[in-house]
Homo-oligomer: A and B are copies of this chain.
Amino acid sequence: MLNFSTSEENYIKAIYHLQRADGTVTTNELARELKAKPASITDMMKKLKTKKLLHYQPYQGFRLSQEGNKVALGIIRRHRLWEYFLAEKLKFTWDEVHEVAEHLEHVSSKKLIDKLDEFLGFPRVDPHGDPIPDPDGKIESSRQVCLLDLPFNKMAVVSHVSDQSTEILELLKHKKIGIGTKLEVKKKFDFDGSMEIKTGRQPAFTVSEQLAKNIFVKYGT
């Protein structure tokens, strides 16, 4: 696989993410995302087209080719592995990892990334709960669900809390649950809707249906 500039990589990655929502991406959308002017986008689209990384007809928007998709997944793999490293090994918090990973992701040694993957124990999801592509670019689809609906024994990551009252935050703090916390559901009790969950290496503990209702998690499927 060829090598791409930091700039090219950032464009490819941004298109990949915007594509998830729409089918095809427009010049203005991408300009907004990358904080660049529309004219710059057009320039780069021409270049990426000649490199066969995307399909593009003037005025008609663009979407990644097969090849472009594969390149995007390679970049995302690097990004998410570094995020995992930063959170798990260097103890960055979930909200600090992204910015640094934005830079590390452009160091494109295959050997480095595969060895990093191994060192980290082949994690499936990054600290935000988004799945990490494998070396061939295969990726689980990401799903966000209410904690109530998380299947048993499925590793997931807290991605959102609906209620933002001081009361719920106090409880979450006490239970050491926050955005980025990894957890899995062990048991559910029909009697009161409470469930046993496990986070980190501590023993499982109980959360009420009330609380679970407000916690959303992401996991790969």
Contacts and interface: CB of A to CB of B under 8 A. Distances in A.
Nearest to A118: B90
A100 interface: yes
- Counted per complex, copies of this chain come to 2
A111 B104 CA distance: 14
Contacts of A92: 111, 115
A119 B104 contact: no
A48 interface: no
A207 B116 CA distance: 35
Contacts of A91: 115
Q: How large is the interface on A (under 10, 10 to 19, 20 to 34, 35 or more residues)?
A: 10 to 19
A155 B161 CA distance: 50
Which 8 pairs across A and B sit closest by C-beta, in order of nearness?
Answer: A90-B115, A103-B107, A100-B109, A100-B112, A90-B119, A104-B107, A89-B119, A90-B116
20 contacts: A86-B112, A89-B119, A90-B112, A90-B115, A90-B116, A90-B119, A91-B115, A92-B111, A92-B115, A96-B111, A99-B109, A100-B107, A100-B109, A100-B111, A100-B112, A103-B107, A103-B109, A104-B104, A104-B107, A107-B107
